[in-house]
Amino acid sequence: MKIILNGKNIKCKEGKTILDICKEHNIKIPTLCFIEGLKPEARCRLCLVELDNKLVTSCSTYPYEGCKIITDSKRIRKARSINAELLMAGHVKTLSVDEMENDLYKVIRDLGMTRIRFEPIIKYKQDLSESIIRDDNKCINCGKCIRVCGEIMGVHAISFQGRGHYEHVSPYNNHPLNNVACIKCGQCIAACPVGAIYEREHLFEVIQALKNKKKHVVVQTAPSVRVALGEEFGMPPGSLVTGKMVAALRKIGFDRIFDTDLGADMTIMEEASEFVKRLKKNGPFPMITTCCPAWIKFMEHFYHNLFPNMSSCKSPHEMLGILTKTYYAKKFGIKKKDIVVVSVMPCTAKKFESTRPEIDSDVDYVLTTRELSKLIRYSKVDFKKLKDEEFDNPLGISTGAGLMFGATGGVMEAALRTTYEFATGKTLKKVEFNEIRGIEGVKKGTIKIKGKTIRFAAVHGGSNIRKLLKEKDKYHFIEIMACPGGCIGGGGQPWPTTKEVIKKRMEAIYKADRNLPLRKSHENPAVKQIYAEFLGKPLSKKAKKILHTHFVKRSEF
Amino acid sequence: MTEFLLELLKKEVKKRGYISEEAVKKISKKTNIPVSGIYGVATFYSFLPTKQQGKNVIHVCTSPTCAIHNSLDLIKFLEKELKIKLGQTAKNKLFSLYETSCIGCCDEAPAMLLNGKPYIKLTKEKIKKILRKCKS
Amino acid sequence: MQILRKTNLKALEKAKKLGAKKVIDILKKKNLTGRGGAAFPTGKKWEFTLNAKSDTKYVICNANEGEPGTFKDRFIIKNNPETLIEGILIAAYVIKAKQAFIYLRGEYDNLRNLLQKTINKVVKKSGVDIKIISGAGAYVCGEETAIIQSIEGQRGHPQYKPPYPAVDGLFGKPTIINNIETLTNVPQAILFNDWDPNLRLMSLSGNIANPGIYELPVGYKLTDLIKKAKPKNKVKAIYFGCFGGCMPYSKIELTPDSICGKNCIIGSYTIIVVDEKQSILDTALSIAHFYCHESCGKCTPCREGTIRVCHLLEKIKSGKATKQDLEILEDLAMNIHETSLCGLGQTSTNHLLTALEFFRKEFEEKLR
């Protein structure tokens, strides 16, 4: 098809929207409600262009043979400006306020607008939960959070309520998020273009702890943080910044910097042993992983029948948290009450997890990757110029297996590497399981252990989880992660987290695994030492007491 | 053909006067539609209240033709008579007062709906009579 | 009145003898157009749906008339429901639909029993199920894509087109959506040789002695119509419903169909008479209020704009507004008109744009 785009004759394929075509030709068009891969809703009315002298939304309009498209004109700018102004009115009154770098603000800046002529209308209360905060006054009704929560996560905790000017995002019957079946995954935060939904920050408390000389502040970082943090400082997605991150944390003033990857290795020791035990007892299958607190909450709300299938392991950072306050504290003679454990996670559900009474958490504060980047900036650390440094002993040694926890399929791969050797006593030669790598929604494979074919699967994204659980009985072992892509696509990761970005972060993880000398959790010398000095062996009485947990039933609504 | 959400909700309003949280949960289980979605639908429509209503629900038309015929004055009159403001339900749960968009009685304006039934060519006297009948 | 002529299932009989294609030909030849406002040729609409490939198809009768000043549907349901139902059955026959819906606006709940009784009487063994779905007070559900959403159990949000309902409609199936007046005309157009395509139902209201439904030909002079209506005072302006915009009476030496100007559209032949005792500003405020109440909330200009229009009009009324406010109002009105997603938003400021064109003085007088 031939069309005229901004005066130039161009050829384009049919079935592409004007927005698609503009993207191909590097023409920037502002969008706020558009979500890659989902049907456009054409709500925000900012992607307006002229199609044969008519204003149309480029996200939802297809060109036709010979049509004339103009993407920038006085008329277009005026229309976009007024719509942006209407949206911004609910936000801030003047633009001199240094608002968070949000997409709407960027649109307004690009349009060269300097004033908002409408008074703000404040009519909603903030919705405060332990991990997610919603401010409907800032909301621009783009609907992204709702679609992500429903269509991608399969949770449907929020929806549009009311009509017209009173349309707003809310859980049913205007309940706060805490009272409804919300899994706290934070994907709504990642989707929100204007910062109307954000994590409950623990930055203030962490800074207070750092300033308190009596406190011994220990920080640990999740595997997926090191492949994403660089993006916050202008580095390309997929940059592995482990060394710089550790250096930054040390500069900020943390007393010890430990690696959650070690917690992941511990998880594998326990989980693999659990699975081997189930193999002997012939069930219950499938066994399902429990590293993801959003998935745990998902299960507690919607899948009560899965309680016997769940592994009883705590998540890696909780394991490392309690090891810090028991094993490490004892070994180095530090009082438990003086230790503050801070976890840097890609995740908002971990904030909720650390308040669960079932866990009685030893993690005091959870920061998201985004919060860490703020902390680094507050501390005036020039991140890009930092020289690489190493994690601290004794909880800083880890393996490729632990690192892989960051990506969907990674926990399963790590578990298989160890399970096979635990069950058979033989060495696993081919350690890479390519069939459960990648961003496919459901990935599956088989492995022979002692002549028995073990069927395993890895799934991520709530609606994929619902799909897979319908045929769960086909499998022996399932890894479940709530967020698309696993933790690298978590709700606490840097913006934006697109499919492309997720792929890059994933590549970084697998590349790092390939380059590590230790790739199996049970080969980690620190792990061996912890069992030798403190826990005995996996699933010992002590291990069970401190590394395992249980679950509670929650309402499906 | 499966059951239609809109019809289920209307039935509920007919039965109990409003859509309660329990009712929504029941409908959710029956239809597999998430509760947030059902509330989303209910709150979209003017005639699907999610809070308890008065025994008598009055919707006064305020669209242009009725407005030309002073329906706004009638609302003020009703507010005084019922001792409630527009959009409220009386404490004794006898009346709820709302405004509504055109109810298609423009040729017989001003008009209102009382429990879904149109009352036309309204005057203050007529309204007084209607209210008296409701109270008895 | 032509619209009240009964066809007693004779038209359905005839349609079945002729077959689907010929029925469509007749509708095309006789030039039946949609009476909801867009005036799309009915035969063409049906042909699209007939040609769409699918084993399931639906017919929806749009009985969600909510345009202030319009009460044609009520008139037809009360006076000729049999012919309406026959029209639905013919539509179902033509596209081989087994299921039809009547989306009856919530405000007309009191007509539901009458309609249901007529369905029970007329439908009998036609093999078509006609189900009444009661709306619940949402004007926007008169928009065809919003009706579909509403019946599907969603919030009544209009969708952009294409895809058109004729191809991708209710539950994703090809769907005919016609309004009551159109469907009632179908059997009459098929059966009667003297059926006149030019006759329209016009709803007249306002401060007049003879409000009501008039059936008159397109091309009938507005001034004559207003005379018939017997205004009680000197007429100032005519509003063509809320979405049609307004015209000063002095300029109305015209027929309804010739006045379609820049922002003034005759649409569904709704005529509200505003006389000299009433202020245009009050009328504008009443209409603005209506749109603010009925906006679905989906798109930015309509959701955020309609309330701002109300606020600005109130400000003008209170005497606190400045010239700049009037400028903002005009900018905003044009923007809502140009950039809204559906017909409701796009036409929601016609009344204001025309009022500012013809009665600007009444606004300017009030400025600070």
High-pLDDT (> 90) share of chain C, %? 85
Select which of A199, A270, A274, A421 is catalytic: A274
Q: In terms of domains, do B61 and B19 share one?
A: no
C21, pLDDT greater than 70: yes
Q: What is the DSSP string of A361-414?
A: -S--EEEEHHHHHHHHHHTT--GGGPPP--PPSSS----HHHHGGGSTTHHHHH
Residue A363's region, left for phi above 0, alpha for psi from -120 to 50, else beta, is beta
**What does the pLDDT read at residue A92?**
61
**In this structure, are residues C320 and C367 in contact, taking their beta carbons and an 8 Å threshold?**
no
Using DSSP, state whether A7 is helix, strand or coil. Answer: coil
Q: Say if B123 falls within a structural domain.
A: yes
For residues B76 and B29, membership in a common domain is answered with no
Residues whose CB is less than 8 angstroms from the CB of residue C224 and which lie 6 or more positions away in sequence, other chains included: none
| Annotated catalytic residue, options A33, A182, A292, A487 | A487
Q: Give the pair of three-digit tokens for residue A449.
A: 């252990």
Residues B40, B60 within the same domain: no
Same-domain pairing of B79 and B129:
yes
Q: Are residues B61 and B12 in the same domain?
A: no
- Whether residue A290 contacts residue A310, with contact meaning beta carbons closer than 8 Å, is answered with yes
Which of residues C249 and A406 earns the better pLDDT score?
A406
The answer as to whether B29 is a domain residue is yes
Cβ contact A159–B50 (<8 Å):
no
Chain A contact for B51, CB < 8 A?
A: no
- Choosing among A31, A76, A83, A168, which should be mutated to test the C contact, i.e. which has the most C CBs within 10 A? A83
Judging contacts by C-beta atoms under 8 Å, the chain B residues touching residue A175 are none
Does residue B97 form part of some domain?
Answer: yes
What is the torsional sign of CA C358, C359, C364, C365? positive
- Residue A302: partners with Cβ closer than 8 Å, 6 or more residues away: A181, A556
Find the DSSP H helices in B54-114.
64-68, 71-82
Between chain A and chain C, the number of residue pairs with CB atoms below 8 A apart is 87
| 3-state class percentages of chain A: helix first, strand second, coil last, to nearest 5 | 40, 15, 45
CA distance B49 to chain A (A): 11
Determine the distance in angstroms separating the CA of C363 from the nearest CA of chain A, rounded to an integer.
20
Q: Are A130 and A351 in contact (CB under 8 A)?
A: yes
**pLDDT at residue A108, rounded to an integer:** 87
Q: E-assigned strands of chain C?
A: 58-63, 99-104, 129-134, 175-179, 199-206, 212-217, 235-239, 246-248, 270-275
Q: Which residues of chain C have a CB within 8 Å of the CB of B40? A: 155
State whether B84 and B17 are in the same domain: no
Residue B100 has what pLDDT? 95
Buried-state track A309-343, b at ≥16 Cβ within 10 A, e below 16: bbbebbbbbbbbbbbbbbbbbeeeebeeeebbbbb
- The alpha carbon of residue C161 and the mean position of all alpha carbons in its chain are separated, in whole angstroms, by 18
Q: Could you say which of A158, A162, A163 has the minimum Cβ distance to residue B36?
A: A158
B45–A159 CB contact, under 8 Å: no
Q: Is B50 domain-assigned? A: no
Write down the catalytic residue from A58, A224, A273, A311: A311
Range of the domain at B119: 56-135
- Whether B39 and B84 map to the same domain: the answer is no
What residues have CB less than 8 Å from C218, skipping those under 6 apart? Answer: C198, C199, C200, C255, C256, C257
Distances (CA, A) of A228 to A247, A408, A409, A508: 16, 15, 18, 9
Do A87 and C300 make contact, defined as CB atoms within 8 angstroms?
A: yes
Sign of CA dihedral A173, A178, A179, A182: positive
* Whole-structure pTM value: 0.93
Question: Of B41, B47, B117, which has the smallest distance from its Cβ to C137's Cβ?
Answer: B47
Is the same domain home to B123 and B60? Answer: yes
β-pairing, B117-119 vs C58-63, is unpaired
Is B36–A156 a contact, with Cβ atoms under 8 angstroms apart?
A: yes
**Which residues of B fall within a CB distance of 8 Å from A173?**
21, 24, 39, 50
Task: With CA atoms as reference, report the closest residue to C135 among C116, C118, C115, C150.
Answer: C150
Query: CA torsion angle for A473, A182, A148, A437 (degrees, to 10)?
Result: -40
Which position among A231, A270, A318, A353 bears the catalytic label?
A353
Residues of B in contact with C151 (CB under 8 A): 4, 6
Say what the pLDDT of residue A353 is.
94
- Closest C-alpha to C242, from C291, C302, C205: C291
Same domain, B35 and B87: no
User: Does B39 contact A at CB distance below 8 Å?
Assistant: yes
Q: Helix or strand or coil: residue C109?
A: helix
Q: What is the separation, in whole angstroms, between the first and last Cα of chain C?
A: 52
Q: Which two tokens stand for residue A530?
A: 């912890």
- How are beta strands C212-217 and C199-206 bridged, if at all? antiparallel
Q: Kindly determine whether residue A162 and residue B25, on different chains, have CB atoms separated by under 8 Å.
A: no
Asked, for residue B30, whether it belongs to a domain, the answer is: yes
Task: Please give the residue that has the higher pLDDT: either C130 or C255.
Answer: C130
CB B48 to CB C136 under 8 A?
yes
User: Virtual CA dihedral for A504, A510, A511, A513, nearest 10 degrees?
Assistant: 150
Establish whether A353 is a catalytic residue. yes
List, as one string, the DSSP characters of C149-198: HHHTTS------SSSPTTTS-GGGS-EEEEEHHHHHHHHHHHH-TT--TT
Whether residues C71 and B113 touch (CB distance < 8 A) is answered with: no
- B62 and B33 within one domain: no
Question: Out of B64, B106, B109, whose CB is closest to C287?
Answer: B64
Core vs surface per residue A433-442: b (16+ CB within 10 A) or e: bebbbebeeb
Catalytic residue, from A350, A351, A443, A520: name it: A350
Residue A358 bears catalytic tag: yes
* Smallest CA–CA distance from A555 into chain B, residue: B25
Chains that touch A (3 or more CB pairs under 8 A): B, C
Give CA–CA dist C328/C334, Å, rounded: 10
Q: Has A311 been annotated as catalytic? A: yes
Of A86, A117, A160, the CB nearest to C305: A86
Cβ contact A164–C332 (<8 Å): no
The mean per-residue pLDDT over the stretch C335-361 comes to: 94
Count of CB atoms within 10 A of residue A12's CB? 16
Number of Cβ within a 10 Å radius of residue A527:
23
C-alpha A314/C-alpha A307 separation (Å) is 14
pLDDT at C159 over 90: yes
Contact A390, A399 (CB under 8 A): no
Catalytic residue among A24, A358, A432, A500: A358
- The DSSP output letter for B2 is P
Dist. CA C42–CA C58, nearest whole Å? 15
Task: Give the pLDDT score at A96.
Answer: 44
Q: Are B9 and B48 in contact (CB under 8 A)?
A: yes
C205 vs C210: CA distance, rounded Å = 8
Q: Write down the catalytic residue from A142, A291, A292, A347.
A: A291
Strand partners, A57: A48
Contacts of C306 in chain A (CB under 8 A): 164-165
Q: Which two tokens stand for residue C234?
A: 């000197």
The Cα–Cα gap between B47 and B52 comes to 13
Q: What is the value of ipTM here, to two decimals? A: 0.94
pLDDT along chain A (557 residues), means of 10: 94 93 95 91 96 96 95 96 89 51 84 85 85 90 95 96 95 94 95 90 95 96 97 95 97 96 96 95 93 96 96 96 96 95 96 90 95 94 96 92 95 96 93 94 94 95 96 96 96 93 96 94 96 96 95 95
What pLDDT is recorded for position B1? 47
Take residue B79 and report the two structure tokens written for it: 């507010």
Rounded to 10°, the helix C20-29/C10-18 angle is: 110
Alpha carbon distance A513, A398 (integer Å): 11
| pLDDT attached to residue C77 | 96
* pLDDT for the residue C257: 57
Cα of C324 vs its chain's centroid, Å: 35
For residues C350 and C340, the answer to whether their CB atoms sit within 8 Å is no
Structure tokens at C226: 């207003």
Q: Output helix, strand, coil percentages for chain B, rounded to the nearest 5.
A: 50, 15, 40
What number of H helices and E strands is found in chain A?
Answer: 19, 18
Is the pLDDT at B2 greater than 70, yes or no? Answer: no
Chains that touch B (3 or more CB pairs under 8 A): A, C
Q: Tell me: the pLDDT tens digits for B108-131?
A: 999 999 999 999 999 999 999 999
The DSSP code sequence of A56-88 is EETTT----TT-EEES--HHHHHHHHHHHHHHH
B chain contacts of residue C181, beta-carbon cutoff 8 Å: none
Is B118 found in the same domain as B76? yes
How many CB atoms are closer than 10 A to CB A382? 11
pLDDT digits (tens, 9 = 90+) for B30-64: 999 999 999 999 999 999 999 999 999 999 999 99
Structural domains in chain A, CATH included, are 2-110 (3.10.20.740), 127-200 (3.30.70.20), 204-547 (3.40.50.1780)
Three-class SS of A224-265 = CCCCCHHHHHCCCCCCCCHHHHHHHHHHHCCCEEEEHHHHHH
State the pLDDT confidence band at C253, using cuts at 50, 70 and 90: low
Q: What letter represents residue C2's amino acid?
A: Q
Q: In chain A, what residues touch C163 (CB-CB under 8 Å)? A: none
Can you read off the two tokens belonging to residue B65? 């033709």
B101 touches chain A (CB under 8 A): no
HEC string of A445-465 equals: EEEEECCEEEEEEEEECHHHH
Structural contact between residues C210 and C204, judged by C-beta atoms closer than 8 angstroms: yes
Cα A298 from chain centre: 15
Query: Chain A: residue nearest B37 by CA?
Result: A159
Cβ partners under 8 Å of residue A314, min gap 6: A267, A290, A322, A359, A547, A548, A549
Per the structure, how many domains does chain B have? 2
Contacts of B44 in chain A (CB under 8 A): 160, 162-163
- B6–C134 CB contact, under 8 Å: yes
Shortest Cα–Cα distance, B130 to chain A (Å): 31
**Taking a C-beta distance cutoff of 8 angstroms, is the pair C186, C76 a contact?**
no
Domains of chain C: 2-191 (3.40.50.11540), 201-275 (3.10.20.600), 280-364 (1.20.1440.230)
- Do B19 and B82 sit in the same domain of this protein? no
